[in-house]
Amino acid sequence: MVFATRNRVLLIDLHVHSHHSISGVLEPEEIILRAKQVGLDGVCFTENQPFSEWKELKELGKVHDVAVFVGLEVSTDCGHYLLFFPDPKQVEPGAWFDSEEGEETTLLFDKVRAAVERLGGVMIASRPYDLRIPHPLGDRIFSLKGIHGIEVRNGRCNTLVNDFALEACFHLRFAAVGGSHTLDTLTKLGTVATLFGETIADEAALINALKEGNVWPVEISETPVLRNNRDMGDRGDRRGRDDRRGRDDRRGRDDRRGRDDRRDSRGRDDRRGRRDSRGRDDRRGRDDRRDSRSRDDRGGRRGGNSRRR
């Protein structure tokens, strides 16, 4: 469990959308409150269109003691990317590319890469193997230049899509990150995030950690609801399990050995003894009786024949 402390941000969700995004319906404040509730230290609002309200988001973060960072998610002819800039103003409309409000624009990858390099930002390939998006990146990721990291855990992608991204990231030795991709529900918030190994105070520090690879993707399972010891039968249950394990072990090893030994003594030795005493000896006895009877019968028949004569 990672706990937030003042001036020390560790666990951050790098992929969150509010109502400032196309198809986004969530209020920024409810996202921030939920992030604090699930134990996140910070969230990145990566809206899929430029927005001017980034200062308001940061103020909400200060009110609720949750670090807030801003970026963009852009759609290009070579996949989707999360972009972060040292100066948060670069997320405003017209800062470095023109886009009509409410309209998601497909940009040229080369144009985006050039702008990110010029402004000192980073490009994170988002869900590169998700075939549901237009122009998915796929294996082209192995030949493109200018990418700093890969989102290997996306809360809205299945395991196969995420694992393909993880494999590519492993071979390319890029920074591996995770994000919930919260868009229209808070369900995934707090289940996927990125762990940072250093203090993250602003976008500049965020970019530096991503470029150095001092990050790790994190999947967070739901916390089990624990009942009291009386309901759980705490010690009794443990004793029961231990006893069962003891019986299982004895059955598994000792009893089988015992049965094997009995089989050896009764199965082989006894059967041999019975065959030896009853098989050969008894048959000899029966053979002797048969011989005597046959001799007697033959003698009787011979005697009768001689009397007739």
Q: What is the pLDDT of residue 7?
A: 54
Q: pLDDT tens-digit profile of 120-149?
A: 999 999 999 999 999 999 999 999 999 999
Q: What is the pLDDT of residue 78?
A: 96
Q: Is residue 181 part of a domain?
A: yes
Q: What is the pLDDT of residue 98?
A: 64
Q: pLDDT tens-digit profile of 163-221?
A: 999 999 999 999 999 999 999 999 999 999 999 999 999 999 999 999 999 999 999 87
Quick one: average pLDDT of 34-50? 96
Q: Is residue 75 part of a domain?
A: yes
Q: Which of these ranges, 39-48, 95-104, 278-287, has the smallest mean pLDDT? A: 278-287
Q: Is residue 117 part of a domain?
A: yes
Q: What is the pLDDT of residue 231?
A: 46
Q: pLDDT tens-digit profile of 212-255?
A: 999 999 998 765 555 554 444 444 444 444 444 444 444 444 44
Q: Is residue 4 part of a domain?
A: no
Q: What is the pLDDT of residue 9?
A: 65
What percentage of the chain carries pLDDT values higher than 70? 66
Contact 31, 18 (CB under 8 A): yes
Contact 45, 85 (CB under 8 A): no
Quick one: average pLDDT of 277-294? 48
Does the structure show a pLDDT above 50 at 2? no
Local confidence band at 106 (pLDDT 50, 70, 90 cut-offs): confident
Q: Is residue 93 part of a domain?
A: yes
Does the structure show a pLDDT above 50 at 81? yes
Q: Is residue 202 part of a domain?
A: yes
Q: Is residue 230 part of a domain?
A: no
Q: Is residue 309 part of a domain?
A: no
Tokens encoding 204 = 């500049």
The CATH number of residue 43's host domain is 3.20.20.140
Q: What range does the domain containing 204 cover?
A: 11-219
Distance from C-alpha of 199 to C-alpha of 75, rounded to nearest angstrom: 30
The whole-model pTM stands at 0.69
Concatenated DSSP letters of the chain: ----BTTB--EEEEEE--TTSTT----HHHHHHHHHHTT-SEEEEEESS--STHHHHHHHHHHTT-EEEEEEEEEETTEEEEEE-SSGGGGSTTSSS---TT---EEPHHHHHHHHHHHT-EEEEESTT-TTSSS--GGGGGT--S--EEEEEETTS-HHHHHHHHHHHHHHT-EEEEE--BSS-STTTTTEEEEESS---SHHHHHHHHHHT-EEEEE-PPPPPPPPHHHHTHHHHHHHHHHHHHHHHIIIIIIHHHHHHHIIIIIIIIHHHHIIIIIIIHHHHHHHHHHHHHHHHHHHHHHHHHHH-
Domain count, the chain: 1
